[in-house]
Amino acid sequence: MPIQTRTVANFVDGSYVETGNTFDVHYPVTGQVAAHVHEADAALVDRAVAAARAALDGLWGRLTADERIDLVIGVADGIAQRFDEFVEAEVTDTGQAYNMAKRVNIPRGAANFRAFAHTLRENATEAFRMETPDGQGALNFGVRHPRGVIGVISPWNAPMLLMTWKVGPALAFGNTVVVKPSEVTPSTAALLGQVMNDVGVPAGVYNVVHGGGKVGEMLTTHRGVDGITFTGETVTGSRILQAVAPTLKATSMEMGGKNPGIVFEDADLDLATTILGRSIFLNTGQVCLGTERVYVHESVFEEMKDRLVAYAEGLKPGYPDEEGVTLGPVVSDEHRDKIVGYYQVARDEGAEVLVGGGVPHFGDERDNGSWVEPTLWAGLAHDARTCREEIFGPCAALIPFSEEDEVIRMANDTDYGLSATFFTTDVSRALRVAPRLQAGIIWVNDWFLRDLRTAFGGMKHSGIGREGGVHGLEFYTETSNVCIKI
């Protein structure tokens, strides 16, 4: 499928800005150039931050909450109106199947604006009446203020979903934003600028600057930025925390994972196979919540092994628009090389390769793309690098266990703590095990079921802070307490 090469510009103060200094984005299916992207420089980042500040102090900051919420809901409608353009941009940047972009990533982009518009409408601040020595009392109540100019730094694996997951609440709660999308997948963030103009969001509320870590750092160190919300790798998050320290910015950090899946002996194995198969291989394993360690009770280990291998063998790699395609490329050659490097590490660590382990050969233009085989291993020690380090590819290690306490210990024995998924038909076990797992999100008998009103974030090296529903208010607003003596 030939694709059209696009030009992707920055979006600052309501207008697209080309800098003339471009870098290329590649279509991972075939390696073709998908876009020429205009990289921002420090002067443009300054302009974006100044525009965001001016909007905050200007019309946007003066809107009533209802007026603002109407505009935020308008953005969701505007995404729906340009649905096909967003799908096309997402598919050509990531190589993911049209089905996935159409059913998951672009609709969630719109939902992220609607959900937080409702959060603001439906949640009051606290109020406490207190006693005073004169017997008259006093009334305390909270007043929320937007935090200010928010720098949004987002990754490439679900570009539209993860970028709007930050922009939706930021705008709903009254902030303005400067977004630095991943340099690998910049197109949907740029297109969203068009929607902002379509629906009448004032200039300067939403800004986008393109580039890699250097441009991200211009935001994290900028004195005009009040908060940084980040999704990406843990090592990048750590760098960002160091960079923000001198200017004392608030941060919200969503980072990497090495998520366990557990199959107890009483699990419904059909269900466990289908859900775990999805959790390991969806989006070619590039989902932060996906499973990379599968612990299976020894009594059903061989059966689950065969079932998951059959699942992997049944995946259909193909073009994004091919009927029934269930596996795409990974996002870039660089990421493919990282995954293939781990495939070698696994072999060096003595893994039995149950399926995959290499790079597929198609005999056509896709051999210039960024493909890897879906891969499962057995025979790895629980503390092998393959079982400890985030790979972020279509792969997982299968590890047997015999006791409940043992598997909880192994599941928690990691630097990360983003998600955990387990399968059991025993309600008592579900209630007993779930609270003992050290993860921000725990699913029982399902995976990636998301209610946007719930807390989302990671423990340990997977994150600092929670977003979602009212939890995002902690980061996107600041509360003053007003105490009135009666």
**Residues noted as catalytic:** 254
- Residue selected from 216, 227, 393, 465 as contacting ligand NAI according to rule CB under 6 A: 216
153 binds, among ligand NAI, ligand LM24SWP5, none (CB under 5 to 8 A by kind): ligand NAI
Min dist. Cβ of residue 252 to ligand NAI (A)? 10
Min dist. Cβ of residue 278 to ligand LM24SWP5 (A)? 12
- Residue selected from 96, 176, 236, 414 as contacting ligand NAI according to rule CB under 6 A: 236
Tokens of 416: 């990360």
Stretch that binds ligand NAI, among 121-129, 149-157, 271-279, 340-348 (CB under 6 A): 149-157
- Residue selected from 240, 267, 282, 387 as contacting ligand NAI according to rule CB under 6 A: 240
User: CA–CA separation, 65 vs 43, rounded Å?
Assistant: 32
User: CA–CA separation, 159 vs 162, rounded Å?
Assistant: 6
Tokens of 375: 């891969």
Residues 382-421 that bind ligand NAI (CB under 6 A): 390, 392, 418
- Residue selected from 44, 97, 115, 255 as contacting ligand NAI according to rule CB under 6 A: 255
- Residue selected from 157, 229, 326, 332 as contacting ligand NAI according to rule CB under 6 A: 157
Stretch that binds ligand NAI, among 19-27, 253-261, 445-453, 474-482 (CB under 6 A): 253-261
Q: Is 182 in the site for ligand LM24SWP5 (CB under 6 A)?
A: no
216 binds, among ligand NAI, ligand LM24SWP5, none (CB under 5 to 8 A by kind): ligand NAI
Q: Is 289 in the site for ligand LM24SWP5 (CB under 6 A)?
A: yes
Stretch that binds ligand LM24SWP5, among 120-128, 237-245, 283-291, 406-414 (CB under 6 A): 283-291
Stretch that binds ligand LM24SWP5, among 243-251, 262-270, 286-294, 400-408 (CB under 6 A): 286-294
User: CA–CA separation, 295 vs 255, rounded Å?
Assistant: 23
What is the per-residue binding string for ligand LM24SWP5 in 410-449, x denoting contact by CB under 6 A?
----------------------------------------
- Residue selected from 220, 229, 259, 375 as contacting ligand NAI according to rule CB under 6 A: 220
Q: Is 450 in the site for ligand LM24SWP5 (CB under 6 A)?
A: yes
**Three state DSSP letters for the chain:** CCCCCEEECEEECCEEECCCCEEEEECCCCCCEEEEEECCCHHHHHHHHHHHHHHHHCHHHHCCHHHHHHHHHHHHHHHHHCHHHHHHHHHHHHCCCHHHHHHHHHHHHHHHHHHHHHHHHHCCCCEEEECCCCCCCEEEEEEEEECCEEEEECCCCCHHHHHHHHHHHHHHCCCEEEEECCCCCCHHHHHHHHHHHHHCCCCCCEEECCCCHHHHHHHHCCCCCCEEEEECCHHHHHHHHHHHHHHCCEEEEECCCCEEEEECCCCCHHHHHHHHHHHHHHHHHCCCCCEEEEEEEHHHHHHHHHHHHHHHHCCCECCCCCCCCCECCCCCHHHHHHHHHHHHHHHHCCCEEEECCCCCCCCCHHHHCCCCCCEEEECCCCCCHHHHCCCCCCEEEEEEECCHHHHHHHHHCCCCCCEEEEECCCHHHHHHHHHHCCCCEEEECCCCCCCCCCCECCCHHHEECCECHHHHHHHHEEEEEEEEEC
213 binds, among ligand NAI, ligand LM24SWP5, none (CB under 5 to 8 A by kind): ligand NAI
Q: Is 158 in the site for ligand LM24SWP5 (CB under 6 A)?
A: yes
Q: Is 254 in the site for ligand NAI (CB under 6 A)?
A: yes
Single out the residue of 233, 191, 234 nearest to residue 210, CA to CA.
191
Q: Which is nearer to ligand LM24SWP5, 185 or 273 (CB)?
A: 185
Q: Is 407 in the site for ligand LM24SWP5 (CB under 6 A)?
A: no
Min dist. Cβ of residue 133 to ligand NAI (A)? 49
**Binding residues for ligand LM24SWP5 (CB under 6 A):** 157-158, 161, 165, 283, 287-289, 450, 456
Interacting residues toward ligand NAI by CB under 6 A = 153-157, 162, 180, 182-183, 212-213, 216-217, 220, 231-233, 236, 239-240, 254-257, 288, 390, 392, 418, 458, 462-463
